[in-house]
Amino acid sequence: MKLTTLSVLALSATAINARFVEKHETDQVVLTSDSREDATKYLIELSPGETRLVTEEDKWDLKRQNINFMDITDTQSLGSYNIHTSKKRVFPEAPVHQSTLEPLLKTLSKSNMRAHLEKFTSFYTRYYKSSYGAQSSAWLLETVTDMVGAAGADKHGAHVKHFPHSWGQNSVIATIPGQSDKTVVIGAHQDSINLFLPAFLPAPGADDDGSGTVTILEALRVLLTDESVVQGNATNTIEFHWYSAEEGGLLGSQAIFSAYEKEGRDVRAMLQQDMTGYIQKTLDAGEPESVGVITDFVDPALTEFIKTVVTEYCDIPYVETKCGYACSDHASASKAGYPSAFVIESDFKYSDDKIHTQDDKIEYLSFDHMLQHARLTLGLVYELAFAELSSTHNTPPTHGQDTSPAPPLYLPPAPQTRTSPAPSRSSPCAPPPSPSSSSPTNPAPQTQPPHHYSPPPPRAPPQRPASQPPPTPPQTASPHPPTSVASPPPPSPSESAP
């Protein structure tokens, strides 16, 4: 049945119990009712050790209530490998590379970020189970690959890969090898969601998290103009991550950091950029424009260093704020035992309230503010790339309410079953348009052959100290099993976690 033939009445009658499934071969949306899939339960974690069994619809209901969670159905061992070997990481006291960074910071481009965000939001949705989400991921992979190639970094071992996931939208990882296997990770999530009928309604996701995606993309572009970085002479390896399925419960980042933990990857720092462009509520409240530095459920030492980077390289101040447990992908790194931090566009209470709707559009964003986040990203990754990131004696991580590192070994309690209230309304909607197949600067994503994740190969970089052992190639991670699509009730017009 063609979507254009559906009446508002028919849609309202079927939306509650039906599941929307895209047919990739035809321009149709088929309504099916699969009781087995509708009844699928997922194990989520709402706080350390607090778990619950929920349906897909329950997950969206929790998000509409601004309740954060991690879907740990397939990652219940996350954190168990590093718990006994976790060490306190030592970060620099202050930035020291001002003379190198100041010229680089001047080349960050708002117009580049706008062009990339216009393309990224042109996909009807970036919902992680949709064909559009797969296409937007392919475009992102191609864009990052072209960027690395244009800088000539691929000739020195840099590479870009898909990290495959069973739900269709793959994560993207760009790796720039350094003189050691110690790794600095910069992350953002690429998926978007409309919390009312996620698989069906448009979700441009300009701020959440298109803004973070293009912010770190622009920081990567400028970083690749530094010859020392490109030629592999940085002290540490650098990775940029664009995670799939953050909205589904941090699924993509959990898969990646679970693989890294099992492979023994030495991640020394991880920064998440999620929502970097909205400032209107801050200004309306009479508050100064600022960078929101999250202080709960993060690594305190890394967070303190980030504050010094904001002060040194940004033109606006920072404000300390909190977002709760599992509010973005840094939580996956933290749970795996890696020091993580999170910055956001403002004090959390003033963050964008248009997210998770079809109104999350570019027109509400400030590219001047996004430029400040790009300056922070570039400053931090460069400083950490050339820092001697040491460790102190073994100390098991704790997971308190404020500035806490990784959580303890996960031991799930007996799960509880929860039933979500039935949705009560629906709305008429237009048929999904075909996503844009090309852009002025990028070829169509469908023409790009798939790249798949493989751990960085061992390399013998120049000038490696004789006392330092060469890197050990990790093992390839296996993807998650598929999950199901559900049709949730309508969202509440309130603030939400990223």
Task: Give tens-digit pLDDT for 322-336.
Answer: 999 999 999 999 999
C-alpha span between 51 and 319 (Å, rounded)? 32
Q: How many helices (H) and strands (E) does the chain have?
A: 13, 15
CATH code of the domain covering residue 326:
3.40.630.10
Range of weakest confidence among 17-31, 305-319, 470-484: 17-31
Give the model's pLDDT for residue 82. Answer: 75
What average pLDDT does range 182-200 have in this prediction? 98
CA distances from 117 to 103, 122, 350, 417 (A): 25, 8, 22, 40
C-alpha span between 272 and 211 (Å, rounded)? 12
Residue 16 sits in the same domain as residue 129? no
Residue 267 sits in the same domain as residue 332? yes
Residue 125 sits in the same domain as residue 26? no
Catalytic annotation, pick one of 156, 162, 356, 369: 356
Whether 208 is a known active-site residue: answer yes
Residue 32 sits in the same domain as residue 85? no
Residue 111 sits in the same domain as residue 33? no
Range of weakest confidence among 139-148, 192-201, 437-446, 453-462: 437-446
Q: Which helix H or strand E contains 13, and what residues bound it?
A: helix 8-15
Domain boundary among 353, 368, 401: 401
Q: Which helix H or strand E contains 140, and what residues bound it?
A: helix 131-150
Residue 85 sits in the same domain as residue 27? no
Give the model's pLDDT for residue 38. Answer: 60
- Any domain includes 268: yes
Domain boundary among 379, 401, 423: 401
C-alpha span between 42 and 418 (Å, rounded)? 11
Catalytic annotation, pick one of 56, 57, 181, 274: 274
C-alpha span between 440 and 443 (Å, rounded)? 8
What average pLDDT does range 13-38 have in this prediction? 39
Q: Kindly report whether the peptide bond that precedes residue 209 is cis, defined as omega within 30 degrees of 0.
A: yes
What is the identity of the amino acid at 437? Answer: S
C-alpha span between 480 and 163 (Å, rounded)? 11
Using DSSP, state whether 401 is helix, strand or coil. Answer: coil
Give the model's pLDDT for residue 81. Answer: 84
What average pLDDT does range 485-491 have in this prediction? 41
Residue 31 sits in the same domain as residue 85? no
Give the model's pLDDT for residue 39. Answer: 78
Residue 296 sits in the same domain as residue 181? yes
Range of weakest confidence among 164-173, 254-263, 368-377, 450-459: 450-459
Give the model's pLDDT for residue 85. Answer: 57
Please give the residue range of the domain that contains residue 28.
3-38
Whether 284 is a known active-site residue: answer no
What average pLDDT does range 93-107 have in this prediction? 98
461, 182 in Cβ contact below 8 A? no
Look at residue 202 and tell me whether its pLDDT is greater than 70: yes
Whether 181 is a known active-site residue: answer no
Catalytic annotation, pick one of 61, 142, 246, 296: 246
- Any domain includes 380: yes
Whether 274 is a known active-site residue: answer yes
416-437 per-position pLDDT tens digit: 433 334 333 333 334 344 444 3
Catalytic annotation, pick one of 208, 299, 347, 360: 208
Residue 8 sits in the same domain as residue 122? no
31-73 per-position pLDDT tens digit: 333 444 467 999 999 999 999 999 999 999 999 999 999 999 9
Catalytic annotation, pick one of 162, 189, 241, 369: 189
Whether 50 is a known active-site residue: answer no
Torsion-angle region of 391 (φ positive above 0: left; ψ -120 to 50: alpha; else: beta): beta
Residue 129 sits in the same domain as residue 219? yes
Residue 29 sits in the same domain as residue 111? no
Give the model's pLDDT for residue 390. Answer: 85
DSSP per residue, 294-337: E-SSS-HHHHHHHHHHHHHH-SS-EEEE---TT-STHHHHHHTT
What is the identity of the amino acid at 252? Answer: G
Give the model's pLDDT for residue 490. Answer: 43
Per cent of the chain over pLDDT 90 is: 68
* Number of domains present in the structure of the chain: 2
Whether 330 is a known active-site residue: answer no
Query: How many CB atoms are closer than 10 A to CB 104?
Result: 19
